[in-house]
Structure 1
Amino acid sequence: MSRLSETLREAIEEEVATGKLLPGTHLDEIELAQRFGVSRTPIREALSLLAGEGLIEIRPRRGAVVASVSPQRLLEMFEVMAELEAMCARLAARRSAEADLQRLDEAHQACRSAAAERDPDAYFYANERFHTALYAASRNEFLGEQAHALQRRLRPYRRLQLRVRNRLQRSFDEHQAILDAVRAGDEARAMEATRGHVVVQGERFTDLLSSIAQLEAA
């Protein structure tokens, strides 16, 4: 795959994450090629990459469409995400170096600023930095790759969560608990804080489904 294909993949993925491309949307290769000013070949390669991530589906006679996820499947994915990140946090509490903690803290401070400004978009990107730093701090490259892959798949839904009222401040407080536990080397507390931060159950899951319905209606 070319660098251009990777750039296009990121651009289309961002449109899915931000809700510009909704589940079920047909992705026409010709229209995308014209919009991005490229040939169809890198577009086709980018769509193949996105299909590999599960963000889009290639359907017979219909071509590429943005993937739809059932509520049950979404819940299962968040459950797995919570366990992967909890494992990252446990290993980070055991293995992280000062440089790892510095990267976590820098991302955490960016989250603080975004939360104070009530800017869910800025918080979304700072939040991604925080979680990516947590994966790196685990010092387990394979685990980080698996967590990052599922994070990409869940990007649109993790972004929507941040638009729920008061979620930014709660998320920031949860990050603080994770950071404190990792810094203290408390593996059990780091796991529990991270699992609770990521897993989506009860009212949080209902809020997420409501946000999806509102976005699709709009």
Structure 2
Amino acid sequence: MPTESDVLRVDYGGLIALPLDGGKKRPAKTRAEELRLWISDEITSGRMPPGTRLDEIQLAERFNVSRTPVREALKQLNSIGLVERGARRTMTVAEVSPDQLYSLFELMGELEVSCARLATIKMTSEERALLEKQHDVCRRLMREGDADGYAKANAVFHSIIYSGSHNAYLADAAHLVRVRLSPFRRAQFQTPERMARSCEEHEYIIRAILRGDQMTVMNVMRDHIAAAQGAYVAFAANVKPASE
């Protein structure tokens, strides 16, 4: 079971490693991580539409870095399907259709619901206390208006629930789908009031887990993931492409 000294690897493939303090003492981002986050934000906001060529040399010059962190960032984005490799090792922004995104959120919802249901049965008292502590971290970051910090703390909150299911196969499946959706789930917190609503939804989830109320936790978790999807769709719809 996770403890306060643990580091939860929320994203596989070396994408993100998060301490359970929710980012209060986050290590400095590597250049590859900074590039990955910037490119993924450009893609999920629509400012880099599908088919946009991602040139290593141009990106390296733009950020005044060598091609190594650029190459690593693109490799990470390729591993989660945001960019695709073409002829002569070129990288372009991948097409993610609304139907594909809907299906991913639908799958994420079902996996998170299953994790939350099992957590109501299997979570230890220590794990429940850890979840409540992480919720406090989320609330602090929400009050501070720290969208980036909140997104990371939110990922840890959900990871504690995955671990609390005490089903390694289910937790791994949930983590892997979350990796695929992570840029889109992070973008939701750019919409007004989403952090506050997310915190409120977390409160309902925690109460249901502490009561051992399986039916309620399944319903509120499914609603929580649906709200995250809706917030991202609202965000993307209000961002104009850079060419406009």
TM-score, structure 1 normalization = 0.80
- Supply the distance in 1 between the matched residues of 2:173 and 2:64 (Cα, whole angstroms): 30
Q: 1:136 aligns with which of 142, 163, 170?
A: 163
Question: Is the helix fraction higher in 1 or 2?
Answer: 1
Q: Which moved more, 1:157-166 or 1:15-24?
A: 15-24
- Displacement after TM superposition at 1:175 (Å): 0.3
- Supply the distance in 1 between the matched residues of 2:39 and 2:141 (Cα, whole angstroms): 22
- Supply the distance in 2 between the matched residues of 1:46 and 1:117 (Cα, whole angstroms): 29
In the other structure, the counterpart of 1:124 is: 151
Q: 1:19 aligns with which of 37, 42, 48?
A: 42
| 1:211 corresponds to 2:228 | no
In the other structure, the counterpart of 2:180 is: 153
Taking only the aligned residue pairs, the percentage that are identical comes to 36
| 1:53 corresponds to 2:76 | no
- Supply the distance in 2 between the matched residues of 1:136 and 1:16 (Cα, whole angstroms): 30
- Supply the distance in 2 between the matched residues of 1:8 and 1:94 (Cα, whole angstroms): 42
- Displacement after TM superposition at 1:127 (Å): 0.9
Change (3 A) 1:210 1:181: closer
- Supply the distance in 2 between the matched residues of 1:134 and 1:23 (Cα, whole angstroms): 34
- Supply the distance in 2 between the matched residues of 1:127 and 1:92 (Cα, whole angstroms): 17
- Displacement after TM superposition at 1:33 (Å): 5.9
- Supply the distance in 2 between the matched residues of 1:37 and 1:16 (Cα, whole angstroms): 15
Question: What letter is aligned with 2:236?
Answer: I
Q: Deviations over 1:28-50 (max 9, x none)?
A: 2345566585565x765664443
What is the number of residues matched between the two proteins?
Answer: 212
- Supply the distance in 1 between the matched residues of 2:129 and 2:36 (Cα, whole angstroms): 29
The question of whether the paired residues in 1 share the 8 Å contact of 2:56 and 2:67 is answered with: no
Which ranges of structure 1 fall in alignment gaps of 5 or more residues?
Answer: none
Question: What letter is aligned with 1:15?
Answer: W
- Displacement after TM superposition at 1:217 (Å): 2.1
Output aligned runs, 1:69-148, within 5 Å: 69-148=96-175
Change (3 A) 1:27 1:109: same
Q: Deviations over 1:127-172 (max 9, x none)?
A: 1111111111111222112111211211221122222222221111
Q: Deviations over 1:17-36 (max 9, x none)?
A: 44388453433234556658
Q: Deviations over 1:96-144 (max 9, x none)?
A: 1122212211221111112223332222121111111111111122211
- Supply the distance in 2 between the matched residues of 1:14 and 1:128 (Cα, whole angstroms): 15
Q: Specify the SS of the correspondent of 2:95.
A: coil
The question of whether the paired residues in 1 share the 8 Å contact of 2:40 and 2:77 is answered with: no
In the other structure, the counterpart of 2:26 is: none
Question: What letter is aligned with 1:70?
Answer: S
| C-alpha RMSD of matched pairs (Å) | 3.1
- Supply the distance in 2 between the matched residues of 1:8 and 1:26 (Cα, whole angstroms): 20
Q: Which moved more, 1:181-190 or 1:54-63?
A: 54-63
Question: What letter is aligned with 2:162?
Answer: Y
- Displacement after TM superposition at 1:57 (Å): 1.0
In the other structure, the counterpart of 1:173 is: 200
Q: Specify the SS of the correspondent of 2:136.
A: helix
- Displacement after TM superposition at 1:214 (Å): 3.8
